[in-house]
Copies of this chain bind each other. A is one copy, B any other.
Amino acid sequence: MQRFLNDPDDIVDETVAGFVRAHSDLVRLDPENARVVVSQFAPKEGRVGIVTGGGSGHEPAFIGYTGKNMVDAVAVGELFSSPTAKSFQDAIKAADGGAGVAVLYGNYAGDNMNVKMAAKKAKKDGIEVATVVANDDVCSAPADEREKRRGVAGEILMWKIGGAKAATGASLEEVIAAAQKAIDNCRSVGVGLGPCTLPAVGHPNFQIEPGKMEVGIGHHGEPGTRVEDLKTANEVADDMTEIVLDDHNLPEGTEVAVLISGLGATPINELYVLYDRVAAQIEARGLKVYKALVGNYFTSLEMVGASLTIMALDDELKPLLDAETACPGF
């Protein structure tokens, strides 16, 4: 894989600089912390602030979801690494409009630790902070240990719901409840067909042999639940839908949102090929697709593959999902 690269050590700073420059109508850099991207609409006086953060290399996640009625501030980490506690703390400060801050982030050891430290310090500064930890990745732990599961592309839907709820003027408790419901209602699975390389490392930190695929792979190449022969797109779509829906166990008639994200190097047309089959399988189970998102929403550098997220909807979540949003990634 050849790439557009200067010094590998500068890639995150350069990415953030280009991002903020390109989308200055929606986002800005925190004047005190170059690893914090802030919405131009933040802080929202008297509204709950929404914060997230995570490693770089997943663009448009995380920074791309900063904007209007979405995430107010993002803590930016190195490639595939957690942001610092200080960056989370500064993001909380930047998002604080006086009604508390909801930190909605993914279940990774570094993020957990740093968010906890940041929340503690923010509380000392008089900012009310509450958190939701995303754990939508079905294959990363069994159903009865859901608290061990990682957060993946379902986080985008959690931010969408949380941001929309905050925009209604809801309390911190209500925003947290909506975001928690959003991620509780999400299940995701990833399938990897090819690895990615951290530029500073120079070789992939995991392998997928030609002719094979890895089902349940994580966003940083974390091992999946099985490596098997590469199947047809329809068979893969069937497997992904089955993994997600068997874990989900939704009553017939449930309306769902479906998000298929490419992992970086998979052509967009293939995502639509997958979607067509996934949607057919969802409908065959008596469920109804209310909204679909197909594209590169949560990537892993140039990993080849895709993730499927299905979120069960209800009368609270549907209007929040439909609410107006303006951010670069959505």
Interface residues of A (CB under 8 A from B): 1-6, 11-12, 14-19, 21-23, 56-57, 59-60, 193-194, 196, 208, 210-211, 213, 230, 232-234, 236-237, 258, 264-277, 279, 292-296, 299, 301-302, 304, 306, 328
- With A and B bound together, what is the CA distance between A282 and B2 in angstroms? 26
A208 to B328, CA, bound (A): 32
The docked-state distance in angstroms from the alpha carbon of A269 to that of B237 is 28
| Chain B residue at smallest Cβ distance from A16 | B272
Establish whether residues A1 and B60, one from each chain, have CB atoms under 8 Å apart when the complex forms: no
List the B side residues contacting A21 at CB < 8 Å: 275-276, 279, 292
User: How many copies of this kind of chain does the complex include?
Assistant: 2
Q: How far is the CA of A296 from the CA of B11 in the complex (A)?
A: 19
Expressed in whole angstroms, the Cα–Cα distance for A210 and B211 within the complex equals 23
> Is A268 in contact with B59, judged by CB distance below 8 angstroms?
yes
Q: How far is the CA of A258 from the CA of B233 in the complex (A)?
A: 35
**8 residue pairs, one from A and one from B, having the closest CB atoms:** A18-B276, A18-B272, A265-B265, A2-B193, A59-B268, A22-B292, A4-B233, A18-B275
Other-chain residue from B11, B233, B268, B272 in contact with A269 (beta carbon distance below 8 A): B11
Contact A232/B266 with A21-B276, A276-B17, A279-B21 known, Cβ cut-off 8 Å: no
| Min distance, Cβ A17 to any Cβ of chain B, angstroms | 5
